[in-house]
Amino acid sequence: MAAPDPSPRTPRDPALGFPPPGEVLHRLRTHKGMSLRQVAAECGLSVSFLAALERGETDIALERLGRIAKVFDHDVGSFLGFSRGPATPSLFPRAKQEILNRAPGVVYRVLRAPELGYQVVTGDFAPHSGLTEDLQHEGSDFITVTRGTLVARYNGVDHELHAGDCIQWSAGHPHGFRNETDAPAQMVVVLFSSLY
């Protein structure tokens, strides 16, 4: 009896509950600027297999998936989106955080988490200090004041924020911060774009 003709690959069932591994591979690989050949060299799989995986023409065994995930500092779960990052925590020691002196009396500390697509900035404001120019960039920002009082100016309107207050906005409009008080102030900003 002759074997049946192979049928075209059926569309992937979204009810499986995880993204196509080839799509994840392509996204992470292009984000890091890696070629298929570079990924293949690091994980020990063939370029042709990785190319077929990206095109959705083949499935992948769990161990092979783990080898690919490791190239991007993920485990299988975080690679497929079941957790927000690797199974081990990412540690950002204060001494290794990038320091930016944004204006007199204003110091930013920048934490980068490129695999997650955002940056976290801690801003310390001395009394009566502030940014000297408005910021404007892609993405959106989520800001919380962790100490003192800050004025957040957004698109020409001032918003007074006290410790514990939060504000979110589209970062494409002019915005800035200042401390008008006699006490230090601090904010933490999550930038959903790469600014620093």
Q: What local confidence, expressed as pLDDT, does residue 9 receive?
A: 47
Q: What local confidence, expressed as pLDDT, does residue 194 receive?
A: 62
For each of the chain's 196 residues, which pLDDT tens digit applies?
Answer: 444 444 344 456 666 677 889 999 999 999 889 999 999 999 999 999 999 999 999 999 999 999 999 999 888 888 887 655 555 667 778 888 889 999 999 999 998 766 567 889 999 999 999 999 999 888 899 999 999 999 999 999 999 999 999 999 998 899 999 999 999 999 999 988 766 5
Side chain identity, residue 182: D
- Spatial contact of 121 and 111, defined as CB atoms under 8 Å apart: yes
Mutual angle of helices 36-43 and 62-71, in 10-degree steps = 110
For tokens 């925590």, the residue is: 89
Q: What local confidence, expressed as pLDDT, does residue 95 receive?
A: 84
Q: What local confidence, expressed as pLDDT, does residue 115 receive?
A: 59
